Each structure stands twice: as C-alpha cells, then as structure tokens.
C-alpha cells in the first residue's frame, strides 16, 4: 500500500453521500478506507474503480456498527491499512420512524448504536493514530437534531446526542485532534419517494441540496477550517434559519 498520502475512513462509504465523500477525498489524492455493512457489491466496485484510477489507494472493510467489537476491529484495520489515519468521517446512518404508541427497545437501540455508540467507540479505537497525524473527525448529524421531525423521535434524539458528542470530544481531544460536524438538510430524497415540493418551498434557497454541497462542507472542515473545532455546520439551504 501507498503509505505516503493522507488517509480517510468514511463509514457508510459505499453509497449516496458516503460514496461522494470517498470519491472527493480520492480526487484530492488521499488514500481511502470504505466502510460498509451489507452493500459489499457497491463497496468493492467503488474500490476497484478508485484503484484502477490510482493503484493501491483504496480498500473496503466490512463491519456491523451495532456490534462494538466490530467497530473496534474496523478502527484497527483502517488505521493499519496504510500505516496512518488522518480523517474519520462518521457518516453511516439509519433513518427510521417510530411512534410513541408502538416504540420498542430495539428501535431505540438501533438508533443509539449507529448514531452514538459507533461514532464514540470508533474514535476511541483510532484516537492515537489521529493524534499522531493531528487529524480530524467530522460527524454527519441532521438539521432534525435541533428541529425534530414528528414520529422520528429516536432518530432525532440520537442525532442531537451526536451533536453533543461532537462538542464533548472536541474538548477532550484538543489540541491534537479537531472534531466538528455537518448537519445536512434535504440532500437526497429517500429512494423511490417523490420530491417534497412543500419542503422546497420552505427552504430559502428553493432547492434540495446536492451531494457536492456536502462534500464541499466536509472539505472545508477538514482542510481549511484549521482553527475550528466543536462546531456544527448546517448544510440545509437556510432551513435552520427559518421559523417552523
């Protein structure tokens, strides 16, 4: 493996926003570690594409982020794959509804496992490598963390906890490691669902976001905002600035 370049690990990196982040880092000359849980075909195809373009620059690692032992395994393997780790993007997420009347313990556990426990223990597993490279962490939260969506209380609460975790870790890991987050609004619609025209009307910029908008925000926090830590950057077309 080429150990000379900076290395980024992106959880949930085989599809959608995660895929765009991986390709963005690769385009900047970084080596990349693509985490996936079940989308093996997509992850391996992406890694093959990147390595065809620049040999030995990308690998894929499978892990179920609900299993803390697998989270630690992911961190160790990612940190040793290229001999260093500079950037951790906690992007993996699950967006599921729940109602008070029918909510279950497993529904709550799923959200907290993915959005709180996995990011925390993944940082724990690679903190020495990130400290050595004076690296950074970017967590992907959601504007619903502060402007909750009805019938998604577990999702919204777990994303709010991830924002709090971002600030706490920023204090704990300073000055060697910066920790920030982005809070996207509507970037990609769920698959097989029509665009929500009413939501677009409530968005000051009158459109949904593009994955390129998220990539640009992450790049800013990673490469440019070197005096910024413990911050949440909204990427939402202005929705968080409006009244409900």
- Enumerate the active-site residues: 155
Q: How far, in Å, CA of 220 to CA of 237, rounded?
A: 17
End-to-end CA distance of the chain: 50
Whether residue 236 contacts residue 183, with contact meaning beta carbons closer than 8 Å, is answered with: yes
- Side-chain half-sphere CA neighbours of 120 within 13 A: 19
Helix (H) and strand (E) counts in the chain: 8, 7
Contacting residues for 168 by C-beta, under 8 A, at least 6 apart: none
For tokens 């009307």, the residue is 201
């Amino acid at each position: 493996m080429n150990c000379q370049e900076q290395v980024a690990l992106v959880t949930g990196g085989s599809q959608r926003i995660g895929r765009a982040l991986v390709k963005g880092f690769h385009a900047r000359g970084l080596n990349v570690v693509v985490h996936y849980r079940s989308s093996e075909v997509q992850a391996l195809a992406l890694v093959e594409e990147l390595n065809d373009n620049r040999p030995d620059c990308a690998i894929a690692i499978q892990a179920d982020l609900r299993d803390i032992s697998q989270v630690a395994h992911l961190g160790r393997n990612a940190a040793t794959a290229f001999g260093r780790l500079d950037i951790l993007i906690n992007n993996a997420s699950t967006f599921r509804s729940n109602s008070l009347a029918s909510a279950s313990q497993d529904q709550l556990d799923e959200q907290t496992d993915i959005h709180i426990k996995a990011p925390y223990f993944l940082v724990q597993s690679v903190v020495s490598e990130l400290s050595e490279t004076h690296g950074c962490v970017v967590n992907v939260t959601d504007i619903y963390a502060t402007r909750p969506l009805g019938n998604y209380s577990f999702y919204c609460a777990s994303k709010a906890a991830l924002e709090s975790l971002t600030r706490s870790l920023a204090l704990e890991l300073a000055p060697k490691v910066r920790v920030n987050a982005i809070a996207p609004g509507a970037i990609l619609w769920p698959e097989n669902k029509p665009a929500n025209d009413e939501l677009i009307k409530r968005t000051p910029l009158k459109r949904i976001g593009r994955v390129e908008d998220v990539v640009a925000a992450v790049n800013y926090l990673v490469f440019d905002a070197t005096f910024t830590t413990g911050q949440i950057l909204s990427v939402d077309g202005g929705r968080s600035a409006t009244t409900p």
